[in-house]
Amino acid sequence: MDLKQVAVDRYGSRDELIQRGIWRGELYRYTDTDKGRGWLWKVLVAEEQLNSGHKYNKRPKMHVRRLTPPALPILTPPLEKPVIELDLGRLNDSELLEPKVQKILLELMIRVLTIHNWTYKQGFHELLGTVWLQLREPHSTMTVFEKLMEQVVPIFYDESSRDPPQLQRVGQFSPGFGRVVQDGVQAGRALVPTGHHVAEDDLRHLPQNTVQR
């Protein structure tokens, strides 16, 4: 017997149809479930939508919004961008002066400064150059430079003490980087000595998953 006809003849209300016919299974015992089953569920769902003020129509939109990742903030270049470009152009390693590398270093510097709302100071560019010469990969360079600057920025050019706390802080972060910076300062030259690279063992002091291989 057709399920549609049984539902109309046997049950006097929608609630009775649901409670007895569906939940107790009566409806499916007396009918051919292949006939009219789609019609039955369409009717029940359509009526539920009407009675609930179309709340089911609103849910998909809410779910879409919930699953959509938040948009990344638009990064505004800092006012010091021209100064950063000039400083990067004065780095004393030929590799760092290549146009492609210069562009990468500028983008990395601007991104890190903007994300952390830091003010650029002379010397930041040489620390970034030092990191680049060790890793030569944008993502790893940015990650290591960011971790390094979190330690350096609070005490960079601290004039309250003649002692170089910057170098001590860099040395705590990574002895290898600390030696590079210390050698440059003591020799009265730039912080990125040509051909000076950090030993592989020094990278073990960096946080795990910092360096891409």
pLDDT digits (tens, 9 = 90+) for 13-30: 777 777 777 667 676 666
Residues 151 and 51 in one domain: no
- Indicate whether 93 belongs to any domain: yes
Q: Is 49 a member of any domain?
A: yes
Instruction: Please identify, among 32, 67, 102, the residue that sits at the C-terminal boundary of a domain.
Output: 67
Residue burial 99-119, b: 16+ Cβ < 10 Å; e: rest: eebeebbbebbbbbbeeeebe
pLDDT band at residue 86 using 50, 70 and 90 as cut-offs:
very high
- Among the listed residues 187, 192, 185, 188, the one whose alpha carbon sits nearest the alpha carbon of residue 134: 192
Residue 165 is assigned to a structural domain of this protein: yes
Q: In the chain, what is the greatest distance between 2 CA atoms, to the nearest angstrom?
A: 100
Domain boundary among 67, 97, 115: 67
**Same structural domain for residues 85 and 63?**
no
Q: CA 138 from chain center: how many Å? A: 15
73 falls within a domain? no
Q: Which one of 38, 67, 96 terminates a domain?
A: 67
Is residue 56 located within the same domain as residue 102? no
Q: Which of 134, 145, 135 is CA-nearest to residue 111?
A: 145
112/182 same-domain check: yes
pLDDT computed for residue 100 by the predictor: 96
Structural domain includes residue 151: yes
- Domain containing 136 equals 81-205
Instruction: Confirm whether 76 is domain-assigned.
Output: no
**Same domain as 105, residue 189:** yes
pLDDT digits (tens, 9 = 90+) for 101-154: 999 999 999 999 999 989 898 889 999 998 999 889 999 999 999 988 888 888
Q: Are 69 and 104 in contact (CB under 8 A)?
A: no
- Looking at the structure, do residues 52 and 107 belong to the same domain, yes or no? no
Reported for 194-199, long-range contacts at CB under 8 A and 24+ positions apart, including other chains, are 194/92, 194/93, 195/93, 196/133, 197/133, 197/134, 198/134, 198/174
Predicted confidence at residue 208, as pLDDT, reads: 46
With a cut of 60, say whether residue 91 has pLDDT above it.
Answer: yes
Number of domains in the chain: 2
